Structure 1
Amino acid sequence: MHLGALFIAHQVLASGSVRQTARRFQLSPSTVSTAIHHIETELAMKLIERTSGELVTLIASGRVLEGLAPLTAAIGELGQLAGHDGADTDEAWVSRIPIKIVTIERFLEVADQGSINRAARRLRLGQPQLSLQLANLEKFLGARLFERQAQGSVLTEEGRRAYQIFTTVSQAWNDLKSQADERYQRTARSLRIGSIIPTGSESWVARCLAALVSEWNLDRNNNAISLVSMTADDLREALKSGRIDVAILDSVFGLESFRHRKLLQTEMVVIAPPDSTGTGVADLVAAHPICMPSPRTGLGHAAMAFSDERAPNRRLRSRDITAADSLPVIVDLVAHHGYVSFLGRVSAMPIADKVRIVDLDEHLPMSYHVAFNHRKAAADACAVIIEAAARITSEPVAQTDSARESAA
């Protein structure tokens, strides 16, 4: 991390504007954005985000801004040491300081050891490499920092000023980093589980996750469980970025690069209002509005494909379908507001007392999968989820219209 980037990041968090900071320091907006990205990466936290085109500073940015205050004050003193008095033109110079934190740490080690050779051995660096870094630091600041003597290296007057400034920088940065390290350790101990959005508390997804938490805690595992629900697209991205360790999805699409196992196999059905009278899909969609998950979900993608390819009725085409990535809302629309939708049979059965379940004219298979990363805890959780799914979906369930008719 460069001192200039830290100075830029401080100004962005203080002003709340990338473009204003870029104009102030005569930099490109991309350079300013890169500085923010680097400090977010180093501190393992998100500080800003864009909402409706506007930059929004997040709650965590306030604490980071306070932590950067002594650091940026020290950077200003460093500018004075280099002959800059803090005017606007000199602020632009400060924002471009290329000195890295690691170089500062090495300078402090040489000063503490009183010898480049001893410092190099402790840092496990070659002496020529360390000498070159110190020479470049002196060249940039325009001041000699060490007097090389027979018994070692002694700080000059400018070197003693630099030592005080760099000590403040190092302490402030290490304070910020230690907080990030604590957050990382807490995150590393947590097992993050993501799932498609359950239809409700009675759904097999919700019951699988509840069984996982219960069994996991009974076994007194060291990893705490953290749960989140989102769409299949978001789950794949979260798994790829490492934000979650395990994902329950309603599609195998995009899982080629992950370890994954099939959770269960089912088929798509129509869910209709309890008082509906249509006997087939065409009748139901002609008489009722449709609401289903968006194509960002595995279920929504399969339903859209069925609508476009198999049904000539205009109501089944995408432009006539209301998308809602919330299964509880969809179920309520069907149960109480006269809509129809599509679900996997295994998800529809637990809500058979709220909606009417109608088979499609042709078999349309759906499969659910669980994907996980390299962590052993993730594989262990995956095994518990698979066992819970098998147990829950083998329980007696309500009958569909066609099953009732066959029984009659």
Structure 2
Amino acid sequence: MQIKQRHIEVFDAIMAAGSISRAATQLNLSQPAVSIALANLEKFIGFKLFQRDRGFFAPTREALLLQDEMAQGLLVLERITQRVTEIRAGSTGRVRIATNGAMAINFLPSLIAAYQHKHSDVNIDILVRSSRQIADWVSTKQIDIGLIDTPVPVAGLDAKFFNLECVCVMHRDDPISAQKSIAPPDLAGRSVVAITGQHMVDRQLDTLLSAADVTVEKHISSYYFAIARNIIASGGGVAIIDPTNGKADLNDGVVWRPFSPKIYHELALIRGSNQELGKAPAGLYNLIDRSLQSLIGIGNAGDSNE
């Protein structure tokens, strides 16, 4: 036999109430049920806990020695019950998510803040690494969720793909900001901030420029779209970047225009193949999924951010 939650509850109730009848009322149990639970507890521990005197139960010295531990045990059990309820509701736990940078600055932070506001007991770790490193981590279950560039470099992953329509960003004082949209000929001879490492966005732009027989100047490259935008804010030319960074309202003097023909930044939202996420990771995963779907919807808007 082991000391069970019912034993602790009965002990605590009798200590507080001083009688079997009042303890039974407090616990919403019958008096025989309380008496049996107390008898079983005393039999298990090998000593009396209460002296019976005309219906009043006075604690023995041994009961007083156990009182603090019993009370703490009851609090622990109540906390466990509360935690189980929170876990079932997805309001507690830990989520580890990683992205390669494009979405780490002007997309994920607001989503994570919104999610954590509703699930205050959830601990969330956001990491920034290369797409390959993130894919490796997800496949080996070191992290729960990844948001990476395509193609997905590792097998054994479930992936959802999202094509985000890129925009052309420039300083608001740039003459081409007067145009409703930007096309390859508008960039002729201009300084274009590139993305380091022959990024898919740059490859698409190069193809369009070549088809239009347009030459541009590429003297600056950046690993992150957000850094490219900061360069533009300082007067560094123009850039083709993703909509989360391009359309962000940062009051930095940067405006955006649609680019035609369209250039896409393709993302993959990844999780382990055949892996059931816990309540907390699944909740954040679904929030990101819905937000990316919404972003695709607004990605084609033609309004500027002025």
Q: Given the two structures, how large is their TM-score scaled by the length of structure 2? A: 0.53
Q: 2:169, 2:130 → 1: CA distance? A: 20
Asked if 1:286 is matched to 2:188, the reply is: yes
Which of 93, 112, 120 is matched with 1:209 structurally? 112
> Structure 1 residues 332, 366: closer, same or farther in 2, change over 3 A?
closer
**In structure 1, the residue corresponding to 2:193 is in which secondary structure?**
strand
2:133 corresponding residue in structure 1: 234
Asked if 1:339 is matched to 2:241, the reply is: no
Higher helix share: 1
Q: 1:305, 1:289 → 2: CA distance? A: 16
Which of 260, 266, 285 is matched with 1:367 structurally? 266
Residues 309-339 of structure 1, C-alpha deviations (whole Å, 9 max, x = no match): 22133326xxx35321233321110112222
**Following superposition of structure 1 onto structure 2, how do residues 113-124 of structure 1 map, counting pairs within 5 Å?**
none
**Equivalent position amino acid for 1:248 in 2:** L
Identity %: 10
Q: 2:239, 2:153 → 1: CA distance? A: 25
2:99 corresponding residue in structure 1: 195
Are the equivalent residues in 2 in contact too, given 1:346–1:393 (CA < 8 A)? no
Q: CA deviation at 1:379?
A: 3.5
**Equivalent position amino acid for 2:268 in 1:** H
**Equivalent position amino acid for 1:315 in 2:** V
Q: CA deviation at 1:275?
A: 1.3
Asked if 1:376 is matched to 2:274, the reply is: no
Q: CA deviation at 1:370?
A: 1.2
Q: Which runs of 5+ in 2 are unaligned?
A: 1-92
1:387 corresponding residue in structure 2: 290
Higher strand share: 2
Asked if 1:348 is matched to 2:253, the reply is: no
**Following superposition of structure 1 onto structure 2, how do residues 6-17 of structure 1 map, counting pairs within 5 Å?**
none
Q: 2:241, 2:186 → 1: CA distance? A: 15
**Equivalent position amino acid for 1:334 in 2:** I
Q: 1:351, 1:258 → 2: CA distance? A: 34
Are the equivalent residues in 2 in contact too, given 1:212–1:385 (CA < 8 A)? no
**Following superposition of structure 1 onto structure 2, how do residues 86-105 of structure 1 map, counting pairs within 5 Å?**
none
Are the equivalent residues in 2 in contact too, given 1:271–1:342 (CA < 8 A)? yes
Asked if 1:315 is matched to 2:189, the reply is: no
Q: CA deviation at 1:360?
A: 2.2
Q: 2:107, 2:170 → 1: CA distance? A: 20
Aligned alpha-carbon RMSD (Å): 3.6
Higher RCO, Cα 8 Å, sep 6+: 2
Q: CA deviation at 1:247?
A: 0.7
**Equivalent position amino acid for 1:253 in 2:** V
Q: CA deviation at 1:200?
A: 7.7
Q: 1:277, 1:283 → 2: CA distance? A: 14
Q: 2:200, 2:167 → 1: CA distance? A: 11
Q: 2:100, 2:168 → 1: CA distance? A: 19
Q: How many residues align?
A: 202
**Equivalent position amino acid for 1:194 in 2:** A
**In structure 2, the residue corresponding to 1:342 is in which secondary structure?**
strand
Are the equivalent residues in 2 in contact too, given 1:198–1:205 (CA < 8 A)? no
Residues 182-201 of structure 1, C-alpha deviations (whole Å, 9 max, x = no match): xxxxxxx7432102325785
Are the equivalent residues in 1 in contact too, given 2:183–2:261 (CA < 8 A)? no
